[in-house]
Chains A and B, each alone.
Chain A
Amino acid sequence: MLEIKDLHVNVHGKEILKGLNLKVPPGEVHAIMGPNGAGKSTTSYTLAGRAGYEVTKGEIDFFGEDVTALAPEERAARGIFLAFQYPLEIPGVSTMNFLKTAMNSQAKIRGEKELNAAEFLRAVRAAAKELNISEDMLKRPLNVGFSGGEKKRNETLQMALLKPKLAILDEMDSGLDIDALKLVAEGVNKLRSPDRSFLVITHYQRLLDYIVPDVIHILAGGKIVLSGDKSLALQLEQNGYDAVIAKAA
């Protein structure tokens, strides 16, 4: 479903990704781990289509289509979802209005029928209940005054409603204590399915105890230097990035 080929990306004129290759088949959970400055966030922003992340070479094929020239909203409508490391607080935009606009915008881009008010409410209530999100949270402006855990649960709710084919979780564990992390991971695990893939981007191995990956890739110096099964995470935990990367080289 996702195949990244020899991807080179410049940010502010500096090359950050230097030939990234990655293949994620349907239904699999892949983790990208790497030290600070390896290009983890650049990878997630580039996949989502953020302005300022300039692809100078290579392709991002999503179901066989190169999406590098598509706008963020067009990628979203094709099923690419980025869960933000720091979800934005947007005062003045209610969570409900935001969710409805997002769902209907995607439907519109895909040429599908938009939800009416009742269908939308039913969908939100069901998903919110599943993720333990209160009605009160939904009434508040988007993420305003939410705790770290609430913000991440809200991201999970958006994922549940938007039903992406590829979910990129960018440092999902940032700013979460262990209880909040468990709760969020539980939400994510409920969304695992044979036709949905995950790309879990993380610095620490901790998150992978709760969202168990099929494959782990180590990103260093702008490319994948090593791939393996989940035991790779333990090696990293014990020996540190430097030793593992040195061994791979």
Chain B
Amino acid sequence: MTGSLSESLLATMEKRRGAVAPWLGDLQGQAQEFFKREGLPNRRVEAWRYSDLAKALRDDPLPDATPVFAPELQQAAVAAFVNGVLDDKSSYARIGAVNLRTALGEKDSPLAGVIGKVYPQADHPIVNLNTALLEEGLALRVPAGEKVSLPLHLRFLWTSAGSDRHLRLLIQLEEGAELTVYETHDGAPLFSTVVTEFTLGKGSKLTHIRQESFLAGARQAAVTLGEIAEEATYRAFYFSQGGQFARHEALLKLAGETAHAELDGAVMVADQRHCDNTTVIEHAAPNATSNQVFRSVLAGSARGVYQGCIKVGQVAQKTDARQLSRALLLSHKAEIVTKPELEIFADDVKCSHGATAGELDANALFFLRARGIPEAEARAMLIEAFFGEALDKIESDVLREAVAKSVNAWLTTHAGEAAHVE
């Protein structure tokens, strides 16, 4: 099956190659060659050891219920991707975003200098696959000093099992610019990849709220590539309920002094779902800071994966890099895999990593129940509290409430699930 899927992907790549945009040069050709050589990543590749994409795509897609879509954000610029195709009626142009499909149809484009140029990953299987199949996406450049007041809502809606798309998002913030991106993924793509490339100019600030509320059969691999210049900040909150295969990688380069990346992850997975958060943060300049806390709640026989790599280059003295993975296991069959990696080549740095995994605190649970709070509700309270700190860091009330709604919806269904386990 993988063979046939790989073949059909290759055939699509062949068709696409050269037919799209002359200004892409041989970008797609190289990506296609890579794919031809390496194929889909499987567990024999170290970075994919716990998330075997080839196998997930070989398995039959899980049947799914009717998707419930996250409501469109009010007072926002919206880019709705319906089964991976950008809906031109949505309002993204309000803040100057452009349809990548249009740009790809043109003879030349300023995007030539951007696409595939942000923190390049020559040997990344998903980035290459996405590049080779490039046809849809969105690009936005925010000029220097502009603080965009409307958030950009990237609304991905997957309605049919036949959906199979590979999307590219390009975001450039020039010096001092500010932007909030709210990304929602609903439904169940048969197989999609989303690659986001962003560059943050000096002193700029990007807030990125990613909310994956896939149905059980969703299969997606997403990669966010970012380069963060001096004094710039990337502030991210990644929420995910997993899917048949759901992986998001944040590959970030802190390229200038005092650049800062702050990542909070909230993972809530149940049943047989799979959710992978992989991060690579490269400190490539002195005095840059990064902080990441990933919190996971796992029920049923779900599997969560967190791989966090911190690279500190020789020049990156006074780096302060922290990462923490905390997991609550609501069932004995649920599993969390945590893999921290630290590669440090500077001598005056502060780096820390930590991981905890455990059940809900039985003492706290008994305390709440002894006050009259029923078990499922007491569990929900404690899980909500577990995520509370991360949620509180979302500055926008509207976005915080939107994410909290997803958290609560999950709790309503799953908090009481392990009630029989003692």
Contact = CB atoms under 8 A, between A and B. Distances in A.
Given A51-B362, A101-B381, A90 B372 contact: no
A109 B368 CA distance: 15
Contacts of B362: 51
Interface string A39-63: 0000000001111100000000000
Nearest to A45: B366
A141 B389 CA distance: 12
A91 interface: yes
Given A73-B374, A93-B381, A101-B377, A88 B363 contact: yes
Contacts of B389: 91-92
Contacts of B372: 73, 76-77, 102-103, 105-106, 109, 162
B382 interface: yes
Interface in A15-58: 48-52
B262 interface: no
Contact of A92 (B363, B373, B384, B422): B384
B364 interface: yes
Interface in B196-210: none
Nearest to A48: B370
A91 B377 contact: no
Contact of B382 (A51, A75, A93): A93
Interface in A73-122: 73, 75-77, 81-82, 84, 87-88, 90-93, 98, 101-103, 105-106, 109
Interface in A139-157: 141
B386 to A, nearest CB: 7
Given A92-B388, A105-B377, A72 B382 contact: no
Given A51-B422, A73-B375, A105-B374, A90 B364 contact: yes
A158 interface: yes
Nearest to A158: B371
Q: How large is the interface on A (under 10, 10 to 19, 20 to 34, 35 or more residues)?
A: 20 to 34
A87 B385 contact: no
Contact of A71 (B369, B377, B382, B386): B369
B367 interface: yes
Interface in B335-386: 361-364, 366-375, 377-378, 381-382, 384-386
Contacts of A75: 370
Nearest to A99: B371
| Residue with the greatest number of chain A CB neighbours at <10 A, chosen from B361, B368, B370, B422 | B370
A77 B373 CA distance: 9
B370 A76 contact: yes
A162 B371 contact: yes
B370 A101 contact: no
A51 B421 CA distance: 11
Contacts of B381: 93, 98, 101
A173 to B, nearest CB: 19
Given A51-B422, A92-B384, A92-B386, A84 B377 contact: no
B373 A101 contact: yes
Contacts of A76: 369-372
Contacts of B382: 90, 93
A52 B388 CA distance: 30
A90 B369 contact: no
Contact of B370 (A82, A92, A103, A109): A82
Nearest to A168: B370
Nearest to B422: A51
A50 B366 contact: yes
Nearest to B389: A92
Interface string B223-255: 000000000000000000000000000000000
Contacts of A49: 369-370
Given A90-B385, A92-B384, A92-B386, A73 B364 contact: no
A102 B375 CA distance: 12
A91 B385 contact: yes
Nearest to A87: B367
A106 B368 CA distance: 12
A-B interface, 8 closest residue pairs, ranked by CB to CB distance from nearest: A92-B385, A106-B372, A76-B372, A92-B388, A72-B369, A102-B371, A88-B367, A105-B372
Given A50-B366, A73-B378, A93-B382, 6 more contacts: A73-B371, A76-B371, A84-B367, A93-B381, A98-B368, A105-B372
Interface of A: 48-52, 71-73, 75-77, 81-82, 84, 87-88, 90-93, 98, 101-103, 105-106, 109, 141, 158, 162
Interface of B: 361-364, 366-375, 377-378, 381-382, 384-386, 388-389, 422
